[in-house]
Amino acid sequence: MNEIPPALHSLAAGGVILNDHKDVYLDQKIAGTVQIKRKGLYYQIHCRCNVPDDRVCRLVAKCDGQSIDLGVCVPFDDGFGVDTMVSVKKIGTDSITFYLTYKKESGDERFLPMREGEPFAGMEYLMNARFEMRDNATGLVIKMG
C-alpha cells in the first residue's frame, strides 16, 4: 500500500460522542465501514469489511503519525470484521484513518521455546517479545528487525 487516503475522521479535543460510519480502505479502495463510538475513556470500534482473498487482514488505525493495530478481521454473517475497544489515550483525538493490511509474513517473527532449567537464548530480544503457546510448548514470539 503506497499511500493512505486523506484522514477520514476528526475527533474534537474534549471528546465528541461519535456514532457514525467511516470508510475503511484496502489498497486505496473502500473495503468496508468502521463505526466508532466514544464510551468514556475508550472508543468502541465496530468494523465490517470484504476481504478479497484468503489472506489474513488486520484493521489498523493511523493517528498522530503512528499506526495502531486493532486486530485481525474474523468471519461474521455479513463478511469479515473486528469488534474491539481501545483507549482514547492510545489512539489520540486527532484525525484517524482506518485501513486494512495483510498479516505480516511469518519471517518477521520467530518462536523461541522456553524449557525449565535451561538458559533462555533470546534474552536480548525481550523488548519485542510476547508469550505464546505452540504445540504444547510455552515460548516467546519475537518481532525481528
From residue 137, alpha-carbon distances to 70, 92, 114, 132 in Å are 27, 37, 8, 8
How high is the mean pLDDT in each 10-residue block of the chain (145 residues)? Answer: 38 45 89 90 91 82 83 87 89 80 62 69 65 76 66
Q: What is the value of pTM for the model shown?
A: 0.59
Which distant-in-sequence residues (6+ apart) come within 8 Å of 82 by Cβ? 45, 46, 47, 59, 70, 71, 72, 73, 74
Domain ranges of the chain: 20-102, 106-143
- The whole-number pLDDT of residue 6 equals 39
- The whole-number pLDDT of residue 20 equals 64
Cell of 136: 504444547
- The whole-number pLDDT of residue 110 equals 63
- The whole-number pLDDT of residue 126 equals 67
- The whole-number pLDDT of residue 31 equals 92
